[in-house]
Amino acid sequence: MGPNGAGKTTLLKLIGALLLPSEGDIFVGGVNTVSHGLEARKSVGFVLNEERSFFWRLTAIQNLEFFGALDNLWGADLDDRIHELIGLVGLGDVADRPVSGFSSGMKQRLALARGLIAEPDILILDEPTRALDPIAAEELTELILDRIHQDSRKTLLIATHRPEEAVRLCNKVLVIDNGRLKGFDRIAELSEKGMSLLEYYRERLQADTE
């Protein structure tokens, strides 16, 4: 968590090997993302919050076919995986329609399917509910909680502005501001101390140094 411009997206993109650090190294599952970016990406799925990150004239299935091929999936394996994911994110009825007709919530579900296509160990979600109305945001949170978080036991890294979302989806919270770490704690321990996540977040942002 962190305010706008704190560096949340930058941090996630560094972990996902989309960006390179100006100095130092980042290891994901023991793989150096600086020297072995493609190798590191095998264990990372990225769910972008950019609605336009799909080819709008292609259908949901055609988009997943393309992005699946970029992740070295093809043939029957890819087809099976796509149909499994389309069912998982609840887009079965619209899978053959162009993405241009999708709502923001549907595009975000499709982004989730794309992030999961290569069965990554780590799923990075960059403000997944940012552009969604409250109902669509709730549905997506439920989807992540019920179908991905609980079922597959993946590591989820989520950037969010919403404390209630973090409380439901995460067991640890990291607060950053201006590119610096301001706090890192277990959410359960905050509850034990009688502190809400919002209070913790405020307190950490006001702290002068890490």
Partner 1 sequence: MIASLRKAWAFLLRDFRIESGYKTSFLMRVVESMTLLVLFYFLGELIAPGGSPALGRYGDRYLPFAIVGVAFARYFDLTLKMFSESIRLAQVTGCLDAMLSSQTGCVPIVLMSSLYSLVSGGLQLLLILLAGTLAFGVDFGRINLPATVLIFLLSILTFVSFGVLSAAMVVWLKKGDPITWILSGFGAIMGGAYFPTSIMPGWMQKISLVLPITYSLDALRLTMLKGYSIGMVANPVEILLAMTAVLLPASLIIFAAAVRKGRREGTLLEY
Contact residues for partner 1 (CB under 8 A)?
10, 13, 16, 18-22, 37-38, 41-42, 44, 46, 48, 50-55, 57-58, 62, 65-67, 69-72, 74, 114, 118
Which residue lies nearer to partner 1 by CB, 19 or 145? 19
Shortest spacing between CB 119 and partner 1, in angstroms: 12
């769910």: which residue's tokens? Answer: 47
Which residue lies nearer to partner 1 by CB, 142 or 179? 179
Which residue lies nearer to partner 1 by CB, 22 or 206? 22
φ, ψ of residue 45 in degrees (nearest 5): -110, 140
CB 48 within 8 A of CB 111: yes
Shortest spacing between CB 116 and partner 1, in angstroms: 13
Shortest spacing between CB 13 and partner 1, in angstroms: 8
CA dihedral 160, 166, 170, 175 (to 10 degrees): 60
The pair of structure tokens assigned to 133 is 């109305």
| Residue spans of alpha helices (H) in the chain | 8-15, 37-41, 60-70, 75-88, 104-116, 134-143, 150-152, 163-169, 187-192, 197-206
CB 19 within 8 A of CB 13: yes
> What one-character DSSP code corresponds to residue 125?
E
Which residue lies nearer to partner 1 by CB, 6 or 197? 6
Mapped onto helix, strand or coil, the DSSP state of residue 148 is helix
The Cα 114–Cα 111 span in angstroms is 5
Shortest spacing between CB 37 and partner 1, in angstroms: 8
Which residue lies nearer to partner 1 by CB, 32 or 62? 62
Shortest spacing between CB 192 and partner 1, in angstroms: 37
Shortest spacing between CB 21 and partner 1, in angstroms: 8
Which residue lies nearer to partner 1 by CB, 42 or 168? 42
